[in-house]
């Protein structure tokens, strides 16, 4: 019986998270290497370790031998082999462990900086938080506790390289799992999420239990739950809106805190024309187009923001243009508008085919309509410059990218909105009095 060896094997297996049998096999392989070092590579060597008593049995060419007969050089060989094999086993264990934890949040301690990346000590191993996965404007101190999501795990240069992220949208999802029990239990679903890390996030939530208010449960009493999440992501604004199956209702929720007057959907273009009053225009667009851009990503619609005057002028131009086409009556104009085409540019972009297939218009008439609208669209474009597309989600995206690059160069994140606390933003689609607490 060799209790000391047994205890050491158990300690190694436990501390390095390696299977006990693997440690026994590595020890046997190391002893075989040591014997061959002493007696020659051609010798027939067998070493077995009893798994219960840890008694070592060794034979060379069928003759038993004692491990105490080995020289110091052979013993050193055994030591090097066992260290190498245990490292390989531990590396495989770490790879398997963190591969299974992809998409999960881990907590570590910042230990050093390598270029722009932060090296994070996770206990058994180290991970890397690249500059691109760090929240813009956020700084970390040495030996600071940091939370991040496991983004990728790969083997590189005989090492396991674990990549962390604090900017991935799923990082917000996992934080909701940790901070909101109803989300972790599946009572509240995060249906869709749109994020611009360091600036703003919009989350659409739904409850499978009619007694649980999804927005109120995520906000928490006096904003306690959402505050914990906001603090974790360096003050990033988080808007929580109620999910709805209706695209029109969801778009109206997603554009909060702006109040929407009307919405027209064009399924042919995947575009939503949103009408807001003049005093709501800046709220709907948001700083650097952020609100409308995130709303577009949240809902899956390309959103154009118009004032009532712009919307009516666009409709008047469309109606006047269509009436110039022989064979077009008021009923057909109403049907075209009902399809979500509210400008001559829309009709030009859609073309004649949807008019023929959806409205049953004769192909020749459909082609005349598309051609006439294309002519008028060119005139409108010349008069208005870039047209109403100035406030489209694509233009807003280009503006935001330039602004974000400028902010990152300055080393600070620009706020996404003013005058609202995160909890107030999250509850902005609720009735007066705030969201109800979950039951």
Q: What is the domain-level CATH number for residue 134?
A: 2.40.50.140
Same domain for 324 and 243, yes or no, is: no
Boundary-marking domain end, from 56, 75, 97: 97
Q: Name the percent of the chain lying above pLDDT 90.
A: 52
Domain residue limits at 145: 105-167
Same domain for 214 and 273, yes or no, is: yes
Residue 288: is its pLDDT beyond 70?
yes
Return the pLDDT at 201.
94
- 171: number of CA atoms within 13 Å, CB side? 28
CA 268 to chain CA centroid, nearest Å? 29
Return the pLDDT at 144.
93
Task: Give the mean pLDDT of 285-312.
Answer: 93
Assigned token pair, 305: 């923001």
Task: Give the mean pLDDT of 211-222.
Answer: 92
Q: Is residue 420 part of a domain?
A: no
Return the pLDDT at 31.
84
Return the pLDDT at 391.
53
- The mean pLDDT of the chain is 83
Q: Is residue 427 part of a domain?
A: no
**Distance (Å, whole) CA 259 – CA 267:** 23
Q: Is residue 370 part of a domain?
A: yes
Boundary-marking domain end, from 69, 97, 125: 97
Phi, psi of 260 (to 5 degrees): -95, 135
Same domain for 187 and 59, yes or no, is: no
**Distance (Å, whole) CA 46 – CA 53:** 18
pLDDT 10s digits, 236-281: 999 999 999 999 999 999 998 899 999 999 998 999 999 999 999 9
**Distance (Å, whole) CA 414 – CA 289:** 13
Residue 164: is its pLDDT beyond 90?
yes
Mean pLDDT lowest for which of 70-79, 177-186, 340-349, 361-370?
70-79
Same domain for 208 and 292, yes or no, is: yes
Same domain for 73 and 123, yes or no, is: no
Q: Is residue 405 part of a domain?
A: no
Residue 43: is its pLDDT beyond 80?
no
CATH of the domain at 174: 3.30.300.20
Return the pLDDT at 1.
54
Using a CB cutoff of 8 Å and minimum separation of 24, what contacts does 5-12 make?
A: 5/54, 6/53, 6/54, 9/54, 12/86
Residue 65: is its pLDDT beyond 70?
yes
Better-scored residue on pLDDT, 395 or 269: 269
**Distance (Å, whole) CA 129 – CA 127:** 7
Same domain for 158 and 136, yes or no, is: yes
Task: Output the DSSP codes for 197-259.
Answer: TTTEEEEEEEESSTTS-HHHHHH-GGGHHHHHHHHHTTT-EEEEEE--SSHHHHHHHHTTTSP
Same domain for 284 and 325, yes or no, is: no
**Distance (Å, whole) CA 434 – CA 426:** 10
Return the pLDDT at 404.
46
Assigned token pair, 57: 């049995």
Q: Is residue 254 part of a domain?
A: yes
Same domain for 302 and 346, yes or no, is: no
Same domain for 137 and 194, yes or no, is: no
Q: Is residue 392 part of a domain?
A: no
| Contact present, 365 and 327 (Cβ < 8 Å) | yes
Same domain for 51 and 139, yes or no, is: no
Return the pLDDT at 334.
92
Assigned token pair, 260: 């929407």
Return the pLDDT at 421.
38
Task: Give the mean pLDDT of 20-39.
Answer: 83
Same domain for 10 and 27, yes or no, is: yes
CATH of the domain at 73: 3.30.1480.10
Start-to-end CA span in the chain (Å): 61
Q: Is residue 150 part of a domain?
A: yes
Instruction: Work out how many domains the chain is built from and give that number.
Output: 4
Boundary-marking domain end, from 340, 370, 385: 385
Return the pLDDT at 385.
55
Residue 88: is its pLDDT beyond 50?
yes
Q: Which of 162, 164, 157, 184 is nearest to 173 (CA)?
A: 184
Q: Is residue 228 part of a domain?
A: yes
Task: Give the mean pLDDT of 359-374.
Answer: 91
Same domain for 84 and 27, yes or no, is: yes
Task: Output the DSSP codes for 258-320.
Answer: SPP-EEEEETTTTEEEEE--GGGHHHHH-GGGHHHHHHHHHHT-EEEEE-HHHHHHHHHHHHH
Residue 315: is its pLDDT beyond 70?
yes
Please, what is the Cα angle at 150 between 146 and 153, to 5 degrees? 130
Question: DSSP state, 392?
Answer: B
Residue 382: is its pLDDT beyond 70?
yes
Beta bridge mates, 302: 271
Task: Give the mean pLDDT of 227-240.
Answer: 92
Mean pLDDT lowest for which of 56-70, 298-312, 328-342, 384-398?
384-398
Task: Give the mean pLDDT of 144-163.
Answer: 90
């Amino acid at each position: 019986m060799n209790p000391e060896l047994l205890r050491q094997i158990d300690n190694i297996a436990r501390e390095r998270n390696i299977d006990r049998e693997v440690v026994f096999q590595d020890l046997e392989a190391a002893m075989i290497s040591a014997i061959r070092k002493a007696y020659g590579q051609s010798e027939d060597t067998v070493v077995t370790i009893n798994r219960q008593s840890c008694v070592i049995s060794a034979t060379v060419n069928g003759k038993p031998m004692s491990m105490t007969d080995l020289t110091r050089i052979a013993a050193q060989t055994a030591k090097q082999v066992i260290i190498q094999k245990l490292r390989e086993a531990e590396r495989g264990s770490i790879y398997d462990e963190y591969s299974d934890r992809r998409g999960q949040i881990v907590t570590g301690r910042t230990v050093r900086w390598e270029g722009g990346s932060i090296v994070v000590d996770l206990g058994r191993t180290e991970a890397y938080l690249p500059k691109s996965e760090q929240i813009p404007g956020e700084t970390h101190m040495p030996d600071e506790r940091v939370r991040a999501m496991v983004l990728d795990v790969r083997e590189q240069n005989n090492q396991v390289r674990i990549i962390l992220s604090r900017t991935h949208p799923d990082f917000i999802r996992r934080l909701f799992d940790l901070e909101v029990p109803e989300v972790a239990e599946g009572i509240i679903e995060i249906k869709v999420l749109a994020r611009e890390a360091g600036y703003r996030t919009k989350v659409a939530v739904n409850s499978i239990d009619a007694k649980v208010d999804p927005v109120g449960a995520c906000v928490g009493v006096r904003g306690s739950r959402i505050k914990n999440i906001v603090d974790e992501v360096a003050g990033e604004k988080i808007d929580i809106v109620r999910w709805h199956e209706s695209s029109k209702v969801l778009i109206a929720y997603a554009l909060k805190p702006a109040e929407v007057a009307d919405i027209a959907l064009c399924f042919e273009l995947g575009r939503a024309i949103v009408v807001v009053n003049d005093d709501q225009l800046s709220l709907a667009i948001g700083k650097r187009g952020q609100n409308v851009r995130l709303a577009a990503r949240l809902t899956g619609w390309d959103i154009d923001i118009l004032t009532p005057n712009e919307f009516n002028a666009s409709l008047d131009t469309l109606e006047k243009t269509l009436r110039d086409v022989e064979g077009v009556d008021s009923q057909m104009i109403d049907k075209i508008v009902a399809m979500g085409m509210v400008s001559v540019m829309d009709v030009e972009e859609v073309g004649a085919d949807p008019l023929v297939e959806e409205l049953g218009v004769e192909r020749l008439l459909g082609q005349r309509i598309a051609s006439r609208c294309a002519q008028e669209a060119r005139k409108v474009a010349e008069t208005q410059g870039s047209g109403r597309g100035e406030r489209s989600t694509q233009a807003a995206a280009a503006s935001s990218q330039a602004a974000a690059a400028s902010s990152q160069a300055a080393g600070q994140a620009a706020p996404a909105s003013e005058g609202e606390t995160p909890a107030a933003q999250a509850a902005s689609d609720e009735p007066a009095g705030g969201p109800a607490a979950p039951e």
